[in-house]
């Protein structure tokens, strides 16, 4: 990791080697964009089968990007794809993967205990200078960070699905995050070609604090028998200009991820009706209808 001073003399580290833990929907997207923007990336997941699926998804997504970006120059497009894939390594051993890392971005299951266990192990293995960040949708960053001894080098980097298309990253600091760490995270977000916004370490940060209650109220409309998912989706796309209706979006995000978010929030804020549990969402998750990633959620996609 090298230190640099920008013209405004803001202290920050230049991030070159990035470890992404979790190669699911989000981890694969973050790994793809980090490698596409010149970073050396190691993507970690629980086994090789998952990792080869992640790599296949990345290859598919890269083809979609290249089809547009290099429409007139297919050879340059091919070279770009092979460069990106060369910068992208995989590993099934998280502890081993962080030995030379500058930045760890965690994108595993939305479960506080599992995230804490992971970070506690990584804290012992990663270089002192390495920065840790979580992509959590709903868990306060501080609650995860306390599993480590590097609160000053800990923050949140919250990306949006699909990462190659969504231009935003929310950058979160906890009170202990140093200015140097925060500046490094902001610069890294920009180096990935994203627009950054800052938000306090508050539930759901900016986007999910508004978007998740909206999605859940749509589910409650169906529970109350007020309209069908199809009509609600059509209404929000054609009447409010959203690219996807709330049910398409829930299927896209993953019903399990939505349930993890709602479980955490309803437990923590039992009196807030915006965070109330939804019997319909819970039923779909119990039936394994987790959304597009399994081919069925509110809609069948396979
Ligand atoms: N990789 C690369 N390119 C992609 C892509 C991907 N995964 N997905 C879409 N694209 C690009 C492609 O270029 C595609 O063109 P081709 O089909 O020719 O390849 C182009 O986008 C248009 O895609 P589609 O025609 O399939 O559909 P669309 O016009 O509806 O655009 C979308 C897709 C960008 C995803 C758009 O529907 C959208 O913005 N949806 C809302 C997404 C959203 O709200 N995300 C946030 C979710 S919340 C979250 O992430 C936070 C959390 O913590 C839960
Ligand atoms: P996902 O289920 O698609 O992927 C999670 C991956 O993590 C899986 O491949 C799983 O095998 C792996 N994993 C689980 N435990 C692990 C461990 N201990 N070590 C290594 N790998 C492990 O989930 P996702 O949608 O990619 O979400 C990941 C994180 O990102 C969650 O915290 C979620 O809240 C957040 N997030 C999700 C979205 C979204 O739209 N889905 C958007 C932003 C943030």
Higher pLDDT pick, 12 / 281: 281
Question: Which pLDDT score, from 0 to 100, does residue 13 have?
Answer: 77
User: How many structural domains comprise the chain?
Assistant: 2
Q: Determine if ligand 2 sits within 6 Å of the CB of residue 98.
A: no
Query: Does 7 have pLDDT greater than 50?
Result: no
Q: How confident is the model at residue 12 (pLDDT cuts 50, 70, 90)?
A: confident
Do 156 and 177 share a domain, yes or no?
yes
Indicate if 46 and 147 belong to the same structural domain.
yes
Final residue before a domain boundary, out of 199, 231, 254: 199
List, for residues 72-96, the tens digit of each pLDDT value. 999 999 999 999 999 999 999 999 9
Q: What is the mean pLDDT of residues 255-259?
A: 97
What span, in angstroms and rounded, lies between the C-alpha atoms of 182 and 160?
20
Rounded to the nearest whole angstrom, what is the distance from the C-alpha of residue 247 to the centroid of ligand 1?
15
Q: Is residue 275 one of the residues assigned to a domain?
A: yes
Percent of the chain with pLDDT over 90: 95
The interface predicted TM-score of the complex, written ipTM, equals 0.98
Residue 262 CA to its chain's centroid (Å): 17
Residues 166 and 212 in one domain: no
The mean pLDDT value for 273-283 works out to 96
Pair 33, 136 in one domain:
yes
Does the structure show a pLDDT above 80 at 9? Answer: no
pLDDT band at 3 (very low <50, low <70, confident <90, very high): low
User: Among all ligands shown, which has an atom nearest to the Cα of 20?
Assistant: 2
In a domain, 299, yes or no: no
Do 28 and 168 lie in one domain? The reply is: yes
50 & 195 share domain: yes
Residue 235 shares a structural domain with residue 144: no
- 98: containing domain: 2-199
212/192 same-domain check: no
Task: Specify whether the CB–CB gap between 58 and 88 falls below 8 A.
Answer: yes
What pTM was estimated for this model as a whole? 0.95
141 close to 201: Cβ distance less than 8 angstroms: yes
Indicate which CATH number applies to the domain containing 157.
Answer: 3.40.50.720
Residues 13 and 80 in one domain: yes
Closest residue by Cα to atom 36, ligand 1, is: 243
| Closest-CA residue to 146 (of 116, 182, 105, 178) | 116
Query: Of 33, 36, 64, which is best to mutate to test ligand 1, by the most ligand atoms within 8 angstroms of its C-beta?
Result: 64
Residue with the smallest CA separation from ligand 1 atom 31 is 243
Closest ligand 1 atom to 32 CA: 1
pLDDT attached to residue 148: 98
Residue 136 CA, closest ligand 2 atom number: 32
- Are residues 189 and 222 located together in one domain of the fold? no
In a domain, 145, yes or no: yes
Specify the 3-state DSSP secondary structure of 231. Answer: helix
Is ligand 1 within 6 A of the CB of residue 32?
A: no
Pair 118, 233 in one domain: no
- Cα 29 to ligand 1 centroid, rounded to whole Å: 12
Q: Is residue 301 a part of any domain in this protein?
A: no
Cβ of 69 closer than 6 Å to ligand 1, yes or no, is no
């Amino acid at each position: 990791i090298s230190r640099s001073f920008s013209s405004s003399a803001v202290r920050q580290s230049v991030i070159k080697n990035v470890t992404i833990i979790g190669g699911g929907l989000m981890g694969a997207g973050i790994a793809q964009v980090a490698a596409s923007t010149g970073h050396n990336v190691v993507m970690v997941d629980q086994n090789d089968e998952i990792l080869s699926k992640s790599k296949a998804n990345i290859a598919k997504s890269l083809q979609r990007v290249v089809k547009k970006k290099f429409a007139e120059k297919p050879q340059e497009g091919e070279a770009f794809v092979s460069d990106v894939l060369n910068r992208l390594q995989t590993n099934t051993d998280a502890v081993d993967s962080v030995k030379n890392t500058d930045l760890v971005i965690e994108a595993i299951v939305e479960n506080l205990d599992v995230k804490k266990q992971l970070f506690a192990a990584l804290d012992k293995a990663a270089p002192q200078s390495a920065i840790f960040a979580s992509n959590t949708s709903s868990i306060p960053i501080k609650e995860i960070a306390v599993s480590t001894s590097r609160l000053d080098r800990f923050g949140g980097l919250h990306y949006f699905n699909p990462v190659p298309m969504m231009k935003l990253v929310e950058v979160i600091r906890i009170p202990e995050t140093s200015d140097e760490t925060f500046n490094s995270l902001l610069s890294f977000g920009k180096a990935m070609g994203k627009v950054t916004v800052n938000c306090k370490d508050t539930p759901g940060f900016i986007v999910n604090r508004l978007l998740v209650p909206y999605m859940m109220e749509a589910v409650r409309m169906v529970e109350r028998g007020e309209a069908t998912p199809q009509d609600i989706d059509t209404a929000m796309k054609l009447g409010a200009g959203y690219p996807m209706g709330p049910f398409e979006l829930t299927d896209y995000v993953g019903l399990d991820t939505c349930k993890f978010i709602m479980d955490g929030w309803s437990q923590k804020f039992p009196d807030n009706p915006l965070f109330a549990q939804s019997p319909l969402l819970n039923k779909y998750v119990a039936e394994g209808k987790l959304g597009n990633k399994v081919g069925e959620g509110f809609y069948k996609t396979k």
